[in-house]
Amino acid sequence: MNLVIFGPPGAGKGTQSKYIVEKYNLYQLSTGELLRKEIINKTPLGMEISSKMNSGNLVSDKIASDLIEKFISLDKFKNRLIFDGYPRNKIQAENLTALLNKYKQKIDLVLKLSVSLDVIKKRITGRAVCSICGKIYNEFFNPAPINSDCCASRFLQKRSDDTLDIAVTRYETYEKNIKPVIDFYEEIKLLKVVDGETSISEISNEISRLIDSIKG
């Protein structure tokens, strides 16, 4: 079983991907992480990626496809992949379909976590991390305990990029770029939309229901 999961920044995609990986014994394939590893290991492909990024250029669809193929071609990952952050455009979606066909595989399910901009704003701008224990809180949905020596307000820190303007820009950019990909998977009847505004456990349960339904 191979899956694709989409969701705007702040939708909880990382949390749900981890849940899917652990429950169904899959391997999470993040293109961003793959790119970083190639660069760190100074492979020929990594050198090419580094050169492009240092020049201010985006990594080409071909490079992304080559990275993905390295995993698709391995038996231990066969029909055990969840694609996170890929595909990002229609060309990549078509390339992924072709690559999987080449190794006699396919995408079985595409999940889209649907979350409104208003909720994303609160999730991102309300996010804070305790500098002592590292626990993550949210002033709107999961506020830190009032009487706590560890997670008192003076110890809570916010990321510099967790601002309203950045949250809105990221959301709008995601929605614009991902629409052709969503349309592609909807047309071939693989897309399932999951309400990403319910609780983490409710989202996980719905995802499990959808996955179990295709497993028979």
pLDDT at 32 over 80: no
Entry pTM: 0.83
Residue type, 212: D
Distance CA 96, CA 31 (A): 13
Distance CA 137, CA 157 (A): 10
Q: Which CATH superfamily is domain 3-117+168-215 in?
A: P-loop containing nucleotide triphosphate hydrolases (3.40.50.300)
Which pLDDT score, from 0 to 100, does residue 184 have?
A: 96
Which pLDDT score, from 0 to 100, does residue 110 have?
A: 97
> Where do the domains of the chain lie?
3-117+168-215, 127-161
What the block records as the tokens of 17 is 């991907």
Distance CA 127, CA 54 (A): 31
Which pLDDT score, from 0 to 100, does residue 57 have?
A: 67
Residue type, 111: L
DSSP 78: T
